[in-house]
Structure 1
Amino acid sequence: MIVTPHQRQTTCAESPHIPGAGCSQDGDCRKGEAADTGNGVMTGKCLLGSGNGSGTCEIFAWCPVEKPTKPTKPLLGKAEDFTVYIKNSICFPKFNFSKTNVLHTENPNFLKFCRFGSKTPYCPVFRLGTIVSYTGNDFQKMAMEGGVIGIEIEWNCDLDQAPSACRPHYSFRRLDKFTEPSATAGYNFRFARYYHDVNGVEFRTLMKVYGIRFDVLVSGKAGKFNIIPLLVNVGTALALMGAGAFFCDFVLLYLIKKSHFYRDKKYEQIRMSSQKFLSRHLVNGEQDSGQADGQGPLGPATHS
């Protein structure tokens, strides 16, 4: 934590670490404007340093401005022994099923003494240092510049089994960019506490704090056997198989360049003269009724 006490609304020099706050004359400070990352509004005056011809612009802001220093050690180094209680409930209304990640017990002291572990999956009381270690990080190092940790709770339930088989699965990972120097690395925020002096003039204490943020992400899915979806899926699969065969035949018969080769293999073409056709029918027990009626040999035929 970085504390800037007794800030009052008055004029003072802008921080020299702010881009655009340096100046060598009053004309460099645009009155009424503020630097993009500045602490206040410029008054138009340049406050020169100790004889080197350079200085910083004067601003109207909460003064004195915050010093760009970083903490040298965690304020609460023993906080890794603190615990956090994460209570979560899951509900699948389609199956009229709900469950929590807390063990149903009549022991009133269960949550006071239990800690999450492989043998106690239904005790959602986590030690902060243990959560950080699950991500492969050290608590003391992360506490210096802060960090963001995602706690994922996943429910994958097969409701054909006993309700006790539906249990939460936890996973932990660090979300902020900590492997390389970056402006987004770590986690910090500012807040202020406001007071009034004996004359009624307001002043404040500004605090920039570094901490560890926990984002709890919950997801889940459940399933149960039903004969109707099974029959529908099987019927759909069979229909798609038939449609696939028809589509393949259509492509091979009409769209590819060598479709005639496939057509010759798929279909057998038979050509014969009318005399051979008539002889084949007579052999099979058919007679020519046209001759009996005085018609030609190619007249209409009837079955005997």
Structure 2
Amino acid sequence: MAYSFVVKKEYQTREDVVSSVTIKVKGISRTNGSGIFQNAGSRTWDPVDFAIPPQTPNSVFIMTNMWITNQTQGICPEKIYNKTCTVDSDCACGNDCVTRNGILTGICDNGNNGSKLCLAYGWCPIEVENKEIINSGPKLLNAPDFTVLIKNTIQFPTLRRHYKKRNLYPNTNLENCTFDFGDNLYCPIFTLKRILNMANCDFEDVGTKGAVLGLLIEWNCNLDKKLNLDKWFNLRSHYKLRREPPYDCEPHYRARRLDFNVATNIASPSINFRYGNSYINSNGILARQLIKAYGIWIKILVSGEGKKFDRSTILFNLGASVGIFAFASFAINIAIHFILKETWAFHKKINEDWYSTASFVWKYNPYIWVPCRKRHQEVNYIFNSVLKV
């Protein structure tokens, strides 16, 4: 009982946390447009380019590697189902007019390397990814220094209707702080390198093919007010605490990788998707820049509970504890019957106690002696029958 009430605090009722999360990413990186960066071009990348979308609740995707294809609307050859064509009838669309990258025109034409491919109407040229360049490593080399600001607000509407808590404190200097396990334990700004270290991940690995990381925020809040002796000596401090009740409610952060490692032999292990930026080029033609983005998808997972003293909870647990004592008495009686060899001594003691009580009753009311004795014999017979079974 002491362990239940002192350590486990079973005198408190509990409620799961209700939470909201917003994320903001900052950082700058540059590609010089030569070597493995040739496809990415010579340009500067900011959060509008690599944070997709720039703001979203509970998760954010940070691009670290990419393959870019500049396209315009037109007709271009496409290799369909790894097949080539010899005549136009081989490209007849029938019920399969729509292909992976366009709509078949029904015309067979010479493709690359003298092979014949069907022509399709769509965005041209078709994306042809260079696996060697992609696998050479992440292109945004400054990505580990990108920062992620996480704003998390929680509440417990049943336990404390008007109480809300944020992981962002009023006196936090957001210009100069980043999270660490030392002095900045409650700073909500994380560098991407810090998140990767918490999840035991290497940037060269996850930055090349992508990964899904989970950043866990745990809230275990004791909503019973703390004993604060300052109120006896400093009245102003007491009023300040009344405006923000001194509850034990602080966030704790952990991170882990949620997807499979690229080295694992599974289908489609990388994390990527495509998006495009459309524009009108200098010739007045609709064009777009198609980007196949590889990167790190960070999901914010919030868990926890609030605890508060409750009279009905403590009465319920006290009743359950008393019931355990009754069960213990029954279990000991059974154990004595089946384990001890001197079971007769136990029966003798019970009978002596019963007869001494019955003698006292018979002395003052002899009329109930016979029924009581008969009842005792019936109970004793039933109990011994059960034990024999």
- Indicate whether the TM-score tops 0.5: yes
Q: 2:181 aligns with which of 118, 121, 142?
A: 118
State how 1:1-304 maps to structure 2 within 5 Å: 1-5=66-70, 7-14=71-78, 16=79, 19-31=81-93, 33-34=96-97, 38-48=100-110, 54-70=115-131, 71=134, 72-96=136-160, 97-105=163-171, 110-119=173-182, 120-160=184-224, 162=226, 163=246, 165-178=248-261, 179-197=263-281, 200-235=284-319
Unaligned runs of 5+ in 2: 1-65, 227-245, 331-346, 348-364, 368-389
Task: Quote the Cα distance in structure 1 between the aligned partners of 2:256 and 2:188.
Answer: 17
Task: Structure 1 unaligned segments of length 5 or more: list them.
Answer: 247-264, 266-283, 287-304
* CA distance 1:43–1:167, change in 2 (3 Å): same
Q: Which runs of 4+ in 1 moved over 6 A?
A: 239-243
| Cα drift, residue 153 of structure 1 | 0.7
Give SS of 2:175's match.
helix
Moved more, 18-27 or 113-122: 18-27
2:181 counterpart letter in structure 1: S
How big is each residue's C-alpha offset from its partner over 1:16-38, in whole Å with a ceiling of 9 and x where there is no partner? Answer: 4x5355334433323263466x2
**Deviation at residue 232 of structure 1 after TM alignment:** 2.7
Q: Which has the higher contact order (CA 8 A, sep 6+)?
A: 2
Q: How far did 1:172 drift? A: 0.8
Deviations 1:53-108 (A, max 9, x none): x5322111111111122423322111101111111111112232322112332x6x
Q: Name the CA shift for 1:234/1:214 in 2 (closer, same or farther; >3 Å).
A: same
SS at match of 2:217: strand
What root-mean-square deviation, in Å, do the aligned CA atoms of Structure 1 and Structure 2 show? 3.3
What is the rounded CA distance, in whole Å, between the counterparts of 1:138 and 1:35 in structure 2? 41
Matched-pair contact (CA < 8 Å) for 2:86–2:116: yes
Higher alpha-carbon Rg: 1
The percentage of counterpart residues that share the same residue type is 39
Residue identity in the other structure for 1:101: N
In 2, distance between residues paired with 1:48 and 1:117?
Answer: 60
Flag the 1:198–1:81 CA change in 2: closer, same or farther, 3 A: closer
Supply the distance in 2 between the matched residues of 1:285 and 1:155 (Cα, whole angstroms).
Answer: 68
CA–CA distance in structure 1, aligned partners of residues 265 and 122 of structure 2: 30
Partner residue in 1 for 2:378: none
Q: SS of the counterpart of 2:309?
A: coil
Structure 2 CA distance, aligned partners of 1:237 and 1:19? 70
What TM-score comes out, normalization by structure 1 length?
0.69
TM-score (norm 2): 0.55
Whether the 8 Å contact between 1:24 and 1:48 is mirrored in structure 2 is: no
Q: Is the partner of 2:143 in helix, strand or coil? A: helix
| SS at 2:108 equivalent | strand
1:236-282 per-residue CA deviation (whole Å, 9 max, x = no partner) reads: 66679989x99xxxxxxxxxxxxxxxxxx9xxxxxxxxxxxxxxxxx
Distance 2:68 2:256 in 1: 30
Aligned-pair CA distance for 1:40: 0.9
